[in-house]
Each structure stands twice: as C-alpha cells, then as structure tokens.
Amino acid sequence: MDDFKRRLVHLLHCPNISWSAVYNLLKKDPHLHNVYQLSSFDSLKRPLNATESLKTPSTELILEQMRQYETNAIKVITIFDKEYPPALKEIYQPPWALFAKGNIELLKLEPKLAVVGSRQATQYGKNAIRLLFPDLIERGIVIVSGLAKGIDAIAHECTLRNGGQTIAVIAGGFYHIYPKENLSLAMELMKTHLVISEYPPDTKPSKWHFPMRNRIISGLSKGTLIIEAKRKSGSLITANYAVNEGREVFSLPGSIFNPFSNGTNELIQQGAKLVTTAEDILVEIRN
C-alpha cells in the first residue's frame, strides 16, 4: 500500500466520516499530504497541534488494524486503483474504497445482475429464483446481492448450488456480519466468491448503512431484478438507484392478493421489464 493509499484508507476509518468530507479534503489536498495536520481523526473538526498530529491513540489503533489486513486476507481497492469497477465510478457518490474478501477477479467479470427482494421470501419467490437462475448462470451472469435474510441469501445460495459466481455487498464491516444467521454463508463466499463493503472491517452496521449499500449493489450491475417487495421496501430503493444510474430494472410479477408482490407489480406499471423467463433478462444485459 503506497503512502497516498494508506492516508486515504486511514481517513476512511474516522468515525462518522462522510463522503463529502473526504471529497473536500481531496479537493484541497489531492495527495493528502497534510491530512494529519488538518484535522483530528476523531472528529475532523478540531485542529491538532504539532505534538498531537500523529500520536493520538485512535491513530495507532487504526494503523494496527490496517497492518492486519494482509494477515486476514482483506484487500482494499480505492477509487484510484485499476481494479476498481468502472461501472461503480459512474454512480452518485461512488465509494472511496471497497474492502474485499475473496476473489476480486469477479469484479472484472461481466455481465453482473443485481438480485434483491423481501427478507420474508415466500415459496413463490424461492421457486422463481430456482427457475431463472440455472439459465442465467449457464450464460455466465454474475449474481450480486446483499447477503440479507430472505431473497438475498437465497440468491447467493442458489448461485452456489448451480456452480455460478456471486458477489455479496454488506452493510458494516467483515467483523460484524449481519444477520448472524448468514455468517456461515458469508464465510463460504469469502473463500471462493467475493464479499465487499465500503466500510472498514471493524464497523458495526448502522441502520443507514443498508440503503447506502444498495447503491453499490445496483452500481456494480448492468441490471437489477426485484423478486418480491412490498410497496415500501429497501428493494425498491435499489431499483430507484438502478433507474437513476441508467441501468436496466427487471421485476417479477405476482398475485394482486400477495403484499410481497405489490412493490414488484408497481415497478412494472412504472416501466420495469416484466420477467417470466431468464431470456427476458439475458436479451437486455447479455454482452
């Protein structure tokens, strides 16, 4: 890790550091030469004196955490690195860095399809995934999802069963996988697939991390498939990100009597492509 990358990654460990704060610092100091003197790594507001600048306990703790990345097989890909996915650079406020565990070569594979849906998956949603995925995976589609309970976890698991490739984008860091019931799945993905986060590994997931990570799920992908969703759900946030990023949006139709199909049916009314077969997706995102 070169000096500039180390300073940038160090900056991302600051509690409550915002995307805009990093942007403004980079604008004033593109190489971050003066970042330690500019502000405290605890608040980014209180100026440091000369003896304080590099000797705060938080700084030593952060440096120690960064030294452990290699031991824990954690890779850091910043927006300035060649490995950073070009499609992700196109979104609003792209992550300054991706913390990654697993096969980072998956970031280069195309096309990618985001698959998201309700945490309370019904049998209909599960059956739809089992119907659609074999053909998608046979055509080399990389499945991107959020490792959440329900449709997300089923999407990852179905991809594994069919010999495909999958990327999980998590809220919080690697040391605090949520939900805990998906920890074994996360560990499996970290071995031969890929788990990524924009947050340092020791970050505990906060409520606002979840909608923010949705922009990465859709941003990595040529299209987003919504399997099941109520009218107000995180899945629809992901669909909105995809629309704003100029990506394809696909939606599984469902019964008017099923509340978990209200959101997907509404998306179709708004212009999302109705999906009944894998070919409905492949024709739009195939290379």
Confidence band (pLDDT; 50, 70, 90) for 162?
very high
User: Mean pLDDT throughout 11-20?
Assistant: 83
Which fold, 104-285? Rossmann fold (3.40.50)
How far is CA 151 from its chain centroid?
16
pLDDT over 90 percentage in the chain: 68
User: Mean pLDDT throughout 68-89?
Assistant: 94
Cβ-proximal residues to 178 (8 Å cutoff; 6+ apart), any chain: 170, 171, 172, 205
Q: Is the pLDDT of residue 51 over 70?
A: no
Helix-strand-coil split of the chain, %, nearest 5: 45, 15, 45
Give the start-to-end residue ranges of the domains of the chain. Answer: 3-102, 104-285
Confidence band (pLDDT; 50, 70, 90) for 44?
very low
Q: Is the pLDDT of residue 40 over 70?
A: no
User: Mean pLDDT throughout 144-167?
Assistant: 97
The pairing of strands 194-197 and 97-102 is antiparallel
Name which of 261, 263, 259 is nearest 235 in CA terms: 263
Q: Is the pLDDT of residue 56 over 80?
A: no
User: Mean pLDDT throughout 17-46?
Assistant: 73
User: Mean pLDDT throughout 74-94?
Assistant: 95
pLDDT digits (tens, 9 = 90+) for 232-254: 887 888 888 888 888 999 999 99
- The residue that leads in pLDDT, 195 or 32, is 195
Tell me the C-alpha distance between 82 and 42, whole Å: 30
Residue 48 pLDDT: 37
By the 8 A CB rule, do 119 and 148 touch?
Answer: yes
Sheet with 97-102: strands ordered across: 75-78, 97-102, 194-197, 166-169, 142-145, 112-116, 223-226, 248-251, 273-274
Residue 159 pLDDT: 98
Residue 76 pLDDT: 96
